[in-house]
Amino acid sequence: MRMLLRNRLGFTAVVMLLLASPDTAYAAAPTPVYAPSYSIADPGVYRENGDFYLYSTGSGARVSRGREAVGPWTNEGAALDLDARPAWMASGDVWAPDIWRTSAGFVMYFSAPAKDFGGQRCIGVAVATSNDPAGDFLPTGQPLVCPGGRQGGEDRVPGRPIADAGVIDPSPFVDGDGKRFLLYKTQQTPSTLRMVRLTDNGLHWFGNDSAELLRRDGIIENPVMVQRGNQFVLLASRYGYDNCSYATVWLRSTDRWHFGGATEHTLLTTAGTGICGPGGGDVTPSLDGGWRIFLHGWVCGSGVKACTPAQIDNGADRRRALYAAVLNWGADNATPVVGAFL
């Protein structure tokens, strides 16, 4: 899941991705750990009682369960109860869902098209009706984040670069003192990553509207933050999600609210991994006390072979699959380093 509390990582950094040419050299792609017939996009992973719960973009927020990171994974259906869809949602299509546990129980954040907003999205919140991370989750009556306070949104997204753009990619984060926050991205370009402080139960904004963490002329999205001592590491996805140039980057700062002057580092690219468009990443602790990073990438046809840039350019049938790898923290305990793929 995109939440953290030191069990979640975020990605963001300038990725100098090499556009494919016939003589471009790529690493051999690992095999996905989960590649059903539908896409596993924007994975949010949460671990509870030894099981991994995987939430992904789709109608009603798809959820799958796996005993280990490598699987086997089982489709549990839609986590969000669409029969209880609130009036602000224009449809049941949900992007980038993610959950955590608070005093209110299991709480989910998701983005969905808002009514009277030109197809743009707002971020909603939902609470599980039982002690089961797979749901059902009942959405609250109003969005948590909606630009300009549309549909009663609590966080109004002040200072956004495009007034009529929506918000997507919610990602919960808990700091070392137990304070709760939510990161997200503003749609369209320039792209911005933002964060808002939440109440202890994670259901409402607390104190002030959100603030901008980082802005890019191009695309930056899928923020995830983790605290490592007095350092805050922000991971994110860069470039267009619909091709092999999509990549994962990271930045680091001693101030959780300011990453504008931080150096952007590459973490995952197609050239380095063989995965077509390695992005949408999320991080969680593993059973062995280490860390795992989960991400999506494009596979073509009905199998599990990573797409080539030429296949993408030629419109090949494709879907996104789930990959997993060991995540290490470097000698300084604050530099994300991807180890072996599972």
- CA neighbor of 108 nearest in space, from 89, 133, 91, 90: 133
Percent of residues in the chain assigned helix, strand, coil, to nearest 5: 5, 45, 50
Structure-block tokens of residue 1? 């899941």
Q: Is residue 273 a contact partner of residue 29, using CB atoms and an 8 Å limit?
A: yes
Alpha helices, DSSP H, located in the chain: 270-273, 309-313
| Catalytic member of 42, 98, 212, 264 | 42
Which residues, listed in sequence order, are joined to residue 251 by a DSSP beta bridge?
234
Structure-block tokens of residue 161? 């670069």
Asked whether residue 18 carries a pLDDT value surpassing 80, the answer given is no
User: Which pLDDT band holds residue 6 (cuts at 50, 70, 90)?
Assistant: very low
Q: How far apart are CA 268 and CA 270, in angstroms?
A: 7
pLDDT tens for 235-263 read: 999 999 999 999 999 999 999 999 999 99
Say which DSSP state 151 is in: G
User: Which pLDDT band holds residue 324 (cuts at 50, 70, 90)?
Assistant: very high
Q: Is 221 a catalytic residue?
A: yes
Q: How far apart are CA 325 and CA 282, in angstroms?
A: 11
Asked whether residue 8 carries a pLDDT value surpassing 90, the answer given is no
Say which DSSP state 330 is in: T
Helix, strand, or coil (residue 100): strand
pLDDT tens for 88-98 read: 999 999 999 99
What b/e string do you get for 209-229 counting C-beta neighbours within 10 Å, with b at 16 or more?
A: bbebbbbbeebbbbbbbbbbe
| Catalytic member of 81, 155, 169, 221 | 221
Q: How far apart are CA 168 and CA 159, in angstroms?
A: 16
In the chain, where are the structural domains located? 44-341
Indicate the average pLDDT of the chain: 92
Weakest mean pLDDT among 14-28, 241-255, 284-298, 311-325: 14-28
Q: Is residue 206 a contact partner of residue 38, using CB atoms and an 8 Å limit?
A: no
Give, in words, the CATH class of 44-341: mainly beta
Structure-block tokens of residue 42? 């924007």
Strands of the 167-174 sheet, one edge to the other: 167-174, 180-186, 191-197, 211-216
User: Which pLDDT band holds residue 26 (cuts at 50, 70, 90)?
Assistant: confident
Q: Is 209 a catalytic residue?
A: no
pLDDT at 2: 47
Q: Is residue 161 a contact partner of residue 104, using CB atoms and an 8 Å limit?
A: no
Please state, for a pLDDT cut of 70, what percent of the chain lies above it.
93
